[in-house]
Structure formats: structure tokens, C-alpha cells
Amino acid sequence: MPDLSPVKRALLSVSDKTGLVELGQALAGHGVELLSTGGTARALRDAGLDVKDVSEVTGFPEMMDGRVKTLHPVVHGGLLALRDNDDHVAAMNEHDIGGIDLVVVNLYPFEATVAKGAEYAEVIENIDIGGPAMIRSAAKNHGFVNVVVDTEDYAAVIEELDANGGQTSYALRQRLAQTAYARTAAYDTAVSTWMAAQVPGTPRRRTFGGTLAQPLRYGENPHQSAAFYTDGSDRPGVATAQQHQGKELSYNNINDTDAAFELVSEFAPENGPACAIIKHANPCGVATGKTMVEAYTRAFDCDRTSAFGGIIALNQVLDGETAEAISRIFTEVVIAPGADEDAMSIFGKKKNLRLLTTGGLAPRDAAALAVRQVSGGWLVQDKDIGRITRDDLKVVTKRQPSAQEMADLLFAWTVAKHVKSNAIIYVKDGATVGVGAGQMSRVDSTRIAARKAQDMAEAMDLPAPLTQGSVVASDAFFPFADGLVTAAEAGATALIQPGGSMRDDEVIAAADDAGLAMVFTGMRHFRH
């Protein structure tokens, strides 16, 4: 096959008309015959370009509300024929099939139709059939045929035509083909994922797709290559946020920023300011406050050491006073629904700090999939959107929690969902005062969290650790009473845990002996 291949005939059929006229003009300038359909043909003609309808070529009109227009041997023969194969050329001549050297298709807007909440029938009508068929035919024959599915590639095609006298290189055609197959795969993924939600049961087959948002300098470590892909959803978060300043986000920045924003989104703005500080995907401080700066300060005071170089997420607009407080230490990323002019001005002096705004919080109860790759496959589960209310709790001890303890227990339980197992969280007055995460032993997490509180008490010159008079949340049940006893020794007065251990009676008895209040949730929040 030749390296350079001429473009003499092009078929254009697009839903997104961005850059269409400019591309059509460039093709016409190289003497390329333009074939088109429907609205694409009208747009090109309105720009003064000569366009032949596909129906003129096939001899069949568009029919069935446009469902059938390009599914024809004249079209696919023109795409699939090998130009250097005598039998193929003979068949083209016998059946009056002209070659098609360039296909520009960007498919019906299926994803956008789903995103706007369209009814079932409308979504079905926006499943493109002819477009993917043409894309796949053209991509298979990329030795001779160019296929363009993204408007971002128009410039590259025009550049090569200009540089090579109306011809394109094999390297370009090969790259376009890869992009094309990825697009149809992602498109089919979107369709199959939507369909999976419409029918009961676990799908026999699953696919996952995405679009490159940015190549990354490296992955978790410098020797690992990485990139960031988005799935096309409009969920507020790191994937859809606007970055106002600072250098490009790294792999770890993106991972930690996502963890921070998902956590802070648990706290509705109308209930008051909330702040979450994340380090290595685990919270090192979470708090509410009467003002945003108070929420930040209380979160920071949980573990000032770990907060250095961390990720900060806010549930309300970032204001100048809070920005001033944050700017006193090195912070990698701040993400919030918005930022006022004072905050932007203050952060503008911190060139290495990345500021992201999202326009809103992530929906707390929206169903989604959580996917993790393992060797040879993927683990897929529903996103953990489980939540409990006061009415869901079962008091299992002789002593009832006080009103303040109950509020703190629910706060601690909310945070526990976002801490790696085994998770232990001490909370006092709507702020974490000790976090133990990711330990093999639950009692070790309890001790680590208490020790961090002691360290902070010494650093802040407090008379006693803030775990005195705190409550404790455990993401899963206490398998033995030792973890509960350790929490009591640290000064905790109430506990929240799922329950369900074969030793629940032993743990309840230990709580009663220590004068603690304890509630069971009946739900766990493992996060591995």
C-alpha cells in the first residue's frame, strides 16, 4: 500500500457542525468531490459549496425517517475496496462504485441525549447505526481511506492535504483509524451501559470507554506513564472542573482531588460550611463551621502535619478570608464550587497552587459504577451511596447518646465512608480530631488515631487531646472489645459501628462497663 494516498472523494455526515464549513472549503480547494446527507449537506451548500447527496450515488432516497441512507453497497464498497487489488477494482467498475477516500462522521449525540434525561424512545432514536458502520469500514481500509470522527482532527487532515498536494500519509490514516475504533467502542459502551440500567440483572458483558482529557507527566511514580480520560458525564468534580491557576495536575493530584471533593460533597451547603483535607486519598481533617474559614481551621487542626502538601475541598464558595488562611501553608490543590474575587487575587500570588472550581457539588445519591482493574479483568460495583439517618440507628447500650453525641456520631459515620479500611474516626463538635486509616488491625487504627490526637494536643499546647469527650466511628464491626476499650482509654464517650459480629454481646458489655453509648447502623462502609 502507498504511503501517500490521494483524496478525491469525501463523504461528510456530522451532527456536530463545528469546523464543517472550513473543512469543506479546504477539501473543495483540492478538487475533492463532496458527498453528504441531510443537515450536513444543507450546511455545506449554504456556504456555497457543491455537494452531491448520497441518495444520488446510491439510487435510493433516504427512508424510514433517515434510518436508512448510507447502508448501501455503493457506499461501503467505495470505502472497503482495496485500490491495489485487481479483483476489487474490477468489482468497482462492474457495479459502478466510486471510491470514497475520506469519511467525516461524528455520530448522533447519544450521550448528550441520555444526559438531558430524555425518554426511552428518544434515546433509542439517537443510537447511530449508519455512522458507526461507515467509520468501521473506513478504518479497516485505512491503507487508502481517511476516517475522521473528532473535529479536533480536521486541522491535521487539512495540513497534510496542503503539504502533500491533496494526499495524506499512512501515518495519519493509521492514527485516525485508531481514534475511530476507540470512538465507536466508546459509543457502544455508552449505549450498552445505558441499556444495562434499563434491564434487571447483571450484564453478561461490560465495556468501559473514555476520551483523553490530558496526558500526564507520569503516574503514581515517575517511572510509570499515565493519562487522564473522562467518560463524558457531567457530574461535578475533578473531571469537569475549571482550573484557574497552577501547573498541570498530576496523577496523584487528580486521584486525591477526586477523593476530597466526593467527601465534601456529602455535606449540603445549606447546612453550613464544610471542609475536607486529603492526603494520599485519605482524610487527615474534616470539619464543619459557622464560616468557611472556621471549617477549614478546624479541619486543619485535626492533623496539621499531614495537611502540608494536601488537597483541600470546600462545599461552598471560597472566600478571601479562607483563601488567606489556606495560603499560609503549602497546598497542592483547592477545589470548591466557586471562588470570589478576593480569593482569586490571594491565590494568584501562589503560582504553584492549583485552584479548581466545579459550579456545584457532586450529587450525593446519584447511582454510578465503581470500577477497579485487577490482573486479567475488572471488579465492578455500584458506587457506595449508602447513607443512614438518626431513625436508622439502633442503640444497643444501656446509655443513650446525648443530642451532641448523636450529631457527632452521624458526622463521623459520614467521614468513615471515605477512609480506607480499617477506618477509625474520632469526632468532637462536628470536626475530626483523630483519623486512623488503612491498617490491617482495627485496634491499630484506633491507637494511631488517638496518637495523632495526642501529637496535635502537644503541638497546639492543649491541656488534653481532643479525643477527650469525642465519639468514634468504625467503618465495620469491632470483632473484639479491644478496639472499643482503646477508644474509651483515649476519652471517647460514644461509638457508632455496623454491628453484626459474632462477638457483639462481648463488645456491648464492654461498652456498658465503660459507661459508653453505642449505636449500630446495620450498614458497613469498607473502602479498600
How far is the CA of 271 from the CAs of 281, 316, 392, 402, 406, in angstroms?
Answer: 25, 10, 20, 21, 16
Q: Which candidate in 17, 88, 280, 350 is catalytic?
A: 280
| 188 three-class SS | helix
Element housing 36 (H / E):
strand 33-36
According to DSSP, the residues that pair with 313 across neighbouring strands are: 276, 335
Element housing 216 (H / E):
strand 211-216
Strands 242-245 and 354-357: antiparallel
The b/e string for 507-516 (b: 16+ C-beta within 10 A; e otherwise) is bbebbeebeb
- 142 catalytic residue (yes or no): no
Q: Is residue 83 within 8 Å of 107, Cβ to Cβ?
A: no
C-alpha cell at 527: 473502602
Give dist(CA 258, CA 277) in Å, integer: 12
Torsion 474-480-484-489 (CA) sign: negative
Per-residue three-class SS string for 232-294? CCCCCCCCCCEEEECCCCCHHHHHHHHHHHHHHCCCCHHHCCEEEEEECCEEEEEEECCCHHH
- 140 catalytic residue (yes or no): yes
End-to-end CA distance of the chain: 51
Q: Which candidate in 140, 279, 351, 418 is catalytic?
A: 140
Q: How far is CA 172 from the centre of its chain?
A: 30
| 343 three-class SS | helix
User: From start to end of 52-101, where are the E strands?
Assistant: 52-53
Give dist(CA 452, CA 506) in Å, integer: 28
Nearest Cα residue to 190 out of 102, 298, 107:
107
Catalogue the active-site residues.
Answer: 140, 280
